[in-house]
Amino acid sequence: MDYTFTPLAEIAPKVAAARTAFAAGTTRPQLWRRATLERLRDLVEEREEKLLDAFAADFGKPRFEAWTSEIGYIVSEINHALAHLSTWMQPERVATPLAFKPGTSHVVREPVGVACVIAPWNYPVQLLLAPMIAAIAAGNAVVGKPSELAPHAAAEAAALIEAIGDPAVCVVQGGVAETSELLTQRFDHILYTGNSRVARIVMRAAAENLTPVTLELGGKSPALVSRHANVQIAARRIAWGKFMNAGQTCIAPDYVLVERSVHDELVAAIGTHVEEFYGADPQVSGDYARIVNEPHFHRLEKLIHSGTVVIGGTTDADTRYIAPTVLTGITADDPVMGEEIFGPILPIIAVDSMNDAIEFVQQRADEGDKPLALYTFSDSDDENDQVIAGTTSGGVCVNGTLLHFSNPNLPFGGVGESGMGSYHGKFGFDTFSHRRGVHARSTRMDPALMYPPYTSRKQKLVRKGMSLLDPRDVGAKLRGALRGK
């Protein structure tokens, strides 16, 4: 495998070359944005087999999962950006209050400059390229840094980016030393995906240059299951979302809160679906991933000792295998509830009511642990609405898991400890754009009202004028009144 870290001395020149390209205006035209995105898409499609081999070599990522969550996802994100780019780039006309007429107002989205994208290992190419796609679509130069913990995927991703052959889109390879060096450079936006400890390092470094950051972090994402849920479907969707990529998914359901009366049915159904997915022995299934490295394997192995193992529980250190595992009899104080699990271990906690479940989640949020995702399972819309209204999280999927991530029309991002800012589709374009407010005045007239000397008559008129609403505001006020707000 050809995997070498970028020499420290080469990092500053790479960023400088990206800045030179941006300053020369290379990246601004729509033509460049389109051509670069199309080239990237072609390269991903051409190198599909190599990429799938790399994911398998790093941690046994099943090819089907790797194709859907990496290749297919990246291609559809590029296609979505290409389909909407012209519209996104249009100045957005907004209302101008009557007092400031005659005149017009627009929001113009302009590229911020040179962006930096730092990615983790669990979806190593998708989480590198998807933010880079957004940065390119928004007309920026961009430097990507894949995770050294998925070295095969990092090498393939780097080769792919280098094949674009454009200094405005470049890659730095490495670990802590290289990323630290990268972070001493001046960027105009940094998007970091990974754990919240390193996020604090990134944010501190960004503060030196007042660089805005988007932080895509993790946390404990709960799944709440009501006695009014379709328990069989809930079990299947929770098992799928949890055990995909062997639980190494930022939005995997971390733990389940289930109403006591359906607890046993849910546990049994998860067992049935795990067997349906991976057979009687998941260790020989080609559809089940491995843990990324030994430290994570040993960390996870210790978490199995909470509560009672009712499904799985077997491990194999040599192949870093941990069976899809379900634990019951868990309390909030067990070690498995003390950190993001990020592996194939699912604690299930019985609660007396959905209100208790909401309180459980919200108490953790009040203590600082706002989840990245939240899953609510009920056939009652009112009940799902109550869960959404009574909790907070980066995103929500009702009666499902993971899939809110893949809708490009939804923002993806965390809140509080699970992150700040968002991307995907237009939200990514906006993240890497500066929204510039432009108000254009007419010169057909120039009333003296605003200008000194300030007379009491002028003051009266200005007070009156500034309280007048734009016709669009009047419309909004009426619509609000009709809705009873």
Least distance to ligand NAD, CB of residue 271, Å: 26
Nearest to ligand NAD of 40, 217 (CB atom): 217
Q: At what angle do helices 126-137 and 73-89 cross, to 10 degrees?
A: 20
Residues 400 to 439 in contact with ligand NAD, rule: CB under 6 A: 414, 419
Is residue 120 close enough to count as binding ligand NAD by CB under 6 A?
Answer: yes
What is the CA angle 257-248-245, rounded to 5?
A: 105
Q: Choose, by CB under 6 A, the member of 102, 175, 286, 295 that binds ligand NAD.
A: 175
Least distance to ligand NAD, CB of residue 300, Å: 13
Nearest to ligand NAD of 122, 384 (CB atom): 122
Is residue 179 close enough to count as binding ligand NAD by CB under 6 A?
Answer: yes
Picking from 255, 175, 272, the residue whose alpha carbon sits closest to that of residue 221 is: 255
Is residue 304 close enough to count as binding ligand NAD by CB under 6 A?
Answer: no
Nearest to ligand NAD of 58, 259 (CB atom): 58
Is residue 140 close enough to count as binding ligand NAD by CB under 6 A?
Answer: no
- Region from 12-20, 62-70, 89-97, 190-198 binding ligand NAD, contact rule CB under 6 A: 190-198
Is residue 194 close enough to count as binding ligand NAD by CB under 6 A?
Answer: yes
Q: Choose, by CB under 6 A, the member of 21, 89, 125, 127 that binds ligand NAD.
A: 127
Is residue 122 close enough to count as binding ligand NAD by CB under 6 A?
Answer: yes
**Does 116 participate in catalysis according to the annotation?**
no
Tell how strand 373-377 and strand 222-225 pair up. Answer: parallel
Least distance to ligand NAD, CB of residue 91, Å: 31
CA-to-CA distance for 13 and 19, rounded, in angstroms? 10
* Cβ within 8 Å of residue 27, ≥6 positions away: 21, 33, 36, 111, 136, 139, 140, 141, 168
DSSP one-letter code for 440: E
- Region from 93-101, 114-122, 160-168, 443-451 binding ligand NAD, contact rule CB under 6 A: 114-122
CA separation, residue 322 to residues 20, 123, 267, 288 (Å): 48, 19, 19, 10
Is residue 195 close enough to count as binding ligand NAD by CB under 6 A?
Answer: yes
CA-to-CA distance for 298 and 340, rounded, in angstroms? 15
CA-to-CA distance for 198 and 183, rounded, in angstroms? 12
Question: In this structure, are residues 350 and 312 in contact, taking their beta carbons and an 8 Å threshold?
Answer: no
CA separation, residue 477 to residues 17, 94, 473, 483 (Å): 51, 17, 6, 10
Residue positions annotated with a catalytic role: 216, 250
Residues of this chain that bind ligand NAD (CB under 6 A): 118-122, 127, 145, 147-149, 175-176, 179-180, 193-195, 198, 201, 216-218, 250, 340, 342, 372, 414, 419
